[in-house]
Structure 1
Amino acid sequence: MRFAFTFDRATEVGLLLAGITRRNSVVLVDDEWFTARFGAWTVRTPLANVAGASTGGPYHWWKAVGVRLSLGDRGLTFGSSTRAGVCVVFHEPVRGLDPWGLVRHPGLTVTVERPDELVACLGGGHRPGDEEVA
């Protein structure tokens, strides 16, 4: 399945300056892989590594727009909108922010269209009380 990112008018120009556009931002889920591409950044992991997912938002723009690293838990955000998103939690932390994989991320928040469908596609299963990444 293919999930496009939701772009807010107010954030789209700023993201364009960072090389992040509608054309190079997508979440793909197939029988084997979860892939999130956001401009030059990509998270790709076997679908079996996805522990769960849940919807969230709305978010503050300074926490959710752009490529963001949470200093609290090393969670990563690929954010194009403040309205809603999906927090994907992994069994094993994944590469994403730096090209060498020195920082690994236990979760990824993505602001896609049809967030409920993405959660359903990933099987939900996000445990109550888990913190969101964004």
Structure 2
Amino acid sequence: MPASAQIFPFAFDRVAGVILPVVGIRPATARVLVDDDLLRVEFGPFRLETPRANITDASVTGPYLWVKVIGAHLSLADRGVTFGTNRDAGVCVRFREPVQAMGVRFGIRHPGATVTVADPAALAAALSSRTGSVDPRQG
């Protein structure tokens, strides 16, 4: 990532701050990086990376059910991936072409990702600067 990359830390609630470090997910290993060309999610042992041109939209979402958001989750309904550290709010990012995130061995590609960063509106706005189709006020 270039020096001009924006970094968005995840917002860990009290419960996530206790549970997730057991699997290597803590504030030092969880962040979203955005630059002119790339979106990268680092979530402990999990990674998602895609060109910005692959992003079709992003919106602020939440609140969520705690059991559906804390940790790394695959949605059985739509194959989306969630990287969650709190139940309050996050950003749902949709992709033109599905991307890999949960590991090569599963072979699953995800049409969208939800990330519970500390400033969801700022991340949605940063993504909108390239796609033009993102509304950071959506929710």
Flag whether TM exceeds 0.5 (same fold): yes
Q: In structure 2, what is the equivalent of residue 57 of structure 1?
A: 62
Q: In structure 1, what is the equivalent of residue 3 of structure 2?
A: none
Any conservation in 2 of the 1:95–1:101 contact (CA below 8 Å)? no
- 3-state SS, counterpart of residue 12 of structure 1: helix
**Which residue type is aligned with residue 13 of structure 1?**
V
Gaps of 5+ in 1: none
> In 1, distance between residues paired with 2:59 and 2:83?
15
- 3-state SS, counterpart of residue 16 of structure 2: helix
Any conservation in 1 of the 2:13–2:85 contact (CA below 8 Å)? yes
Within the alignment, does 1:66 sit opposite 2:71 as a pair? yes
Within the alignment, does 1:125 sit opposite 2:133 as a pair? yes
Q: In structure 2, what is the equivalent of residue 82 of structure 1?
A: 87
Any conservation in 1 of the 2:60–2:124 contact (CA below 8 Å)? yes
> In 1, distance between residues paired with 2:50 and 2:98?
9
Q: In structure 2, what is the equivalent of residue 93 of structure 1?
A: 98
> In 2, distance between residues paired with 1:100 and 1:18?
18
> In 1, distance between residues paired with 2:26 and 2:104?
20
Provide runs of 4+ in structure 1 moved above 4 Å: none
- 3-state SS, counterpart of residue 122 of structure 2: helix
After the TM superposition, which residues 15-54 of structure 1 pair with which residues of structure 2 at under 5 Å, given as runs? 15-54=20-59
> In 2, distance between residues paired with 1:84 and 1:60?
11
Between Structure 1 and Structure 2, how many residues are aligned? 128
TM-score, normalisation: structure 2: 0.87
Deviation of 1:76 after TM superposition, in Å, equals 0.1
- 3-state SS, counterpart of residue 28 of structure 2: coil
Higher helix share: 2
Q: 1:91 to 1:101 in 2, by over 3 A?
A: farther
Deviation of 1:98 after TM superposition, in Å, equals 1.9
Query: How big is each residue's C-alpha offset from its partner over 1:73-129, in whole Å with a ceiling of 9 and x where there is no partner?
Result: 1000000011100000000000001224610000000000110011111116259xx
> In 2, distance between residues paired with 1:48 and 1:77?
21
- 3-state SS, counterpart of residue 102 of structure 2: coil
